[in-house]
Structure 1
Amino acid sequence: MKNTNPIGLFDSGIGGTSIWKEVHTLLPNENSIYLADSKNAPYGLKTKEEIVSLSCKNTEFLLNQNCKLIVVACNTATTNAIKELREKYDVPFIGIEPAIKPAAINSKTHCIGILATKGTLNSELFHKSVMNHPDVTIIEQIGHGLVQLIENGDIESPEIKELLESYLTPMVKKNIDYLVLGCSHYPYLIPQIKKIIPANVQIIDSGEAVAKQTRNILEKNKLLNQTNEIGKQIFYTNSDPEVLKNILNNSYEVVFKNF
C-alpha cells in the first residue's frame, strides 16, 4: 500500500468533519477522503444491524478509493460496528468513543454529563466504559433532534437553543464539572453550549485524541505520507452538498454522489 494513499473518514453526515479538521490540522500532508452518509442520518436511531450494514457499505466505498486507513468519525458507528469492521476488512481502523475516561479522572465534583445519541448510549462498548468509573456519577442525556438540525444547517436556530437548554440545565443543577460530547456533530454546538453552562464546566470531545491516534497508527504501520506538499482533500455526500460546503467554509471540493 502506498504512503500517498488517502486516509478515509466516514460519518452519518457532516458531523465527522469536526474529527477531520483535527486530523488535517495534525497531519496536513496527508490526502483524505471524507464520506458523509447524510441520507441515512442519524445513525443513533437505527438498530445495531442497520448501523453495521451502513458502516460496511461506507468502508467499501472508501476502500475502493484506495484508502490506507479508515477513521470511523461517528460515535454510534464506532460503538456498534467497529468490532465487525476490524474482523471483516484488512485495513487499520480508528474509532471514536465518548471521552469518559479523562472527564471521570479529572472531575472534582465526581459528577459528569454525557450528551450523545441513543445508539451510542445503548451500546455495549459505552456501558463497558461507564462501568470502569463506579466512583463517578455519570448523567446520560440523549440529544434528541440535534443531529437532524445540524444536518439541515440550523446550528444557530432557536430550536437548537431550546433543546440544549432542556438537556443541559438538569446536568448543571446536579453539579457536573465536565460535559462530554458523545457525537461528532456536537462540537459544532460548542458556542451555543457555552452560553448555557457555567464557565467552570469543561467541555470535552474526542477530536484531538482521534487525530493523535491516527498519527500513531500511521507511524506504526509505516504509512505516513512523507511528501512536503499539503494533501488533497475530497468530500463526498449523498445529500445537499451546500450544507457540507458551508460547514467547510467553501474551502474544499465537495462531490455529490448517490452511494
Structure 2
Amino acid sequence: MSKPIGIFDSGVGGTSIWREIRRQLPFEGSVYLADSKNAPYGIKSKEDILQLSIKNTELLLNKDCKLIVVACNTATTNAIDYLRANYNVPFIGIEPAIKPAALRTKSKKVGVLATKGTLSSRLFHNTSRMFAEGIEVIEQEGTGLVELIEAGKLAAEETKTLLVKYIDPMLQQGIDCLVLGCTHYPYLLPMLKELLPQNITIIDSGEAVARQTKAVLAKNNLLESADNHSEYVFYSNSNVDVLKGLVGSPDSEVEYLDF
C-alpha cells in the first residue's frame, strides 16, 4: 500500500506549497495538517514552536507518512534540526529564498517579507550571511497578514492597507526583488502584482521545495509509480471553510480534526 507525503503548517498557508508538490508529483498522495488554532507561529517562543512541530510530526507519522514537509518558514527555522535528529523519516524545510533573490537583483537590494519568528531565527541569519554577501537585505515583519489570510480576507481593503504599509518603505529603499518569507503570502500574489511596479521580481519557495521533495523521494526509493491513484486529505483544527475554498476539488477530502 502506498504511503502519503505529510505536510504541516500553522494554518492554510502551506497549501501554496502543496499545490506545487501536487503539480510536480501528480502520483503522490498527501496528508496536510492546518494548525490554524495556533496560527501564527511567528509570534510564539522557540519552545512553543518546537512543541507544536513535534505534535504535528507525530500526528503525520501516525497517518503513516513517508516524508514530512515542514511547510512553514517559522517552524523550519526553529524546529527542523530537532525533528531531523529525532525522527526516522526525511524532512523537507522551507526558508526564505534569499539565494535566488541575491542572484536576480540588479540594485543589490532585496526585500524580505516574513514573520518575526523567521526573521529572528539563526537559520535565516545564516542563510542571509551565506548567500547575500554584498547584498542589502531589507527585512519587514508582516504582522497581521497571516491572521487576515486565515480569515479568508485575500482581497479585503484592510489586507491591502497593511501590505502597502509594509511594502512602501522597501520600495523607497530601492529593492528590485521581494522574497515572500511565509507560505501564507503567495495567496496575496494577485494583490502584490497590483501594488508593485513591474520591475519588482517576486520570489517564493514553492517550486524549489517541490523539486527538493521529488529529489529526496527519489534518493530514498520512495517515489510512487505512474499508476498510483493520488488521494489528498486535509485536516484543520479550526474553521474548515477557508481551507475548503483554497483546495476544494473532487480528489480532496477536507475534515475537522481536534489536534
TM-score bin, normalised by smaller chain:
over 0.9
Q: Does 1:78 align with 2:76?
A: yes
| Residue equivalent to 2:258 | 258
Distance in 2 (CA, whole Å) between partners of 1:129 and 1:147 is 23
Pick which of 197-206 and 243-252 moved more: 243-252
Distance in 2 (CA, whole Å) between partners of 1:195 and 1:31 is 34
Q: Does 1:101 align with 2:99?
A: yes
| Residue equivalent to 1:163 | 162
SS of match in other structure, 2:195: coil
Q: Can you give the 5+ residue segments of structure 2 that lack an aligned partner in the other structure?
A: none
Aligned residue type for 2:257: K
| Residue equivalent to 1:42 | 40
Q: Does 1:69 align with 2:72?
A: no
SS of match in other structure, 1:236: strand
TM-score between the two structures when normalised by the length of structure 2 = 0.97
SS of match in other structure, 1:181: strand
Distance in 2 (CA, whole Å) between partners of 1:249 and 1:51 is 28
Map residues 11-26 of structure 1 onto 2, 5 A cutoff: 11-26=9-24
Q: Can you give the 5+ residue segments of structure 1 that lack an aligned partner in the other structure?
A: none
| Residue equivalent to 1:203 | 202
Q: Does 1:115 align with 2:113?
A: yes
Distance in 1 (CA, whole Å) between partners of 2:66 and 2:133 is 38
Aligned residue type for 1:122: S
Runs of 4+ with deviation above 3 angstroms = none
Contact kept in structure 2, 1:28 and 1:230, CA below 8 Å: no
SS of match in other structure, 1:108: coil
Distance in 2 (CA, whole Å) between partners of 1:13 and 1:97 is 17
Contact kept in structure 2, 1:169 and 1:197, CA below 8 Å: no
Contact kept in structure 2, 1:94 and 1:213, CA below 8 Å: yes
Q: Does 1:217 align with 2:186?
A: no
1:131 to 124, 129, 132: 129
Deviations 1:14-48 (A, max 9, x none): 00000000000000110100000000000000000
Query: CA RMSD for the aligned pairs?
Result: 0.9
Distance in 2 (CA, whole Å) between partners of 1:49 and 1:216 is 31
Distance in 1 (CA, whole Å) between partners of 2:157 and 2:224 is 44
TM-score between the two structures when normalised by the length of structure 1 = 0.97
SS of match in other structure, 1:195: helix
The Cα shift of 1:129 comes to: 1.1
| Residue equivalent to 2:244 | 245
1:53 to 39, 51, 56: 51
The Cα shift of 1:227 comes to: 4.0
Pick which of 22-31 and 245-254 moved more: 245-254
